[in-house]
């Protein structure tokens, strides 16, 4: 995900899995994350107030979730 510094960001998170819960977290912006049951959705809202590249990840520990650890949020300064 690429956003601009100072931008109001809304990430619509959907768990399309039919049998397992999944979570969603963003370092710095949404550290505690949230857990979604199968079929649930949630809008994560924040202001991109720090430039840089931040991890987007699932914070549930199980074998499949190790493959959900490589997302990135890039907050870019506008010139």
Cα torsion 50, 58, 10, 19 to 10°: value is 180
Q: Which of 12-21, 32-41, 46-55 has the highest mean pLDDT?
A: 46-55
Q: What is the pTM of this model?
A: 0.82
The answer, yes or no, to whether residue 65 has pLDDT greater than 60, is: no
pLDDT band at 6 (very low <50, low <70, confident <90, very high): very high
How many structural domains comprise the chain? 1
- What pLDDT sits at residue 67? 60
Residue (of 24, 41, 44, 20) closest to 32 by Cα position: 24
- What pLDDT sits at residue 49? 96
> How many whole angstroms separate alpha carbon 32 and alpha carbon 36?
13
Range of the domain at 15: 2-76
The domain that holds 22 is classified in CATH as: 2.60.40.420
């Amino acid at each position: 995900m690429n956003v601009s510094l100072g931008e109001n960001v809304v990430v619509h998170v959907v768990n399309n899995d039919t049998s397992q819960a999944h979570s969603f977290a963003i370092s710095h912006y949404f550290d505690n994350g949230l857990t979604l049951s199968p079929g649930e959705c949630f809008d994560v809202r924040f202001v991109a107030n720090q430039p840089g590249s931040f991890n987007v990840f699932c914070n549930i520990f199980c074998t499949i979730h190790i493959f959900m650890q490589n997302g990135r949020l890039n907050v870019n300064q506008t010139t």
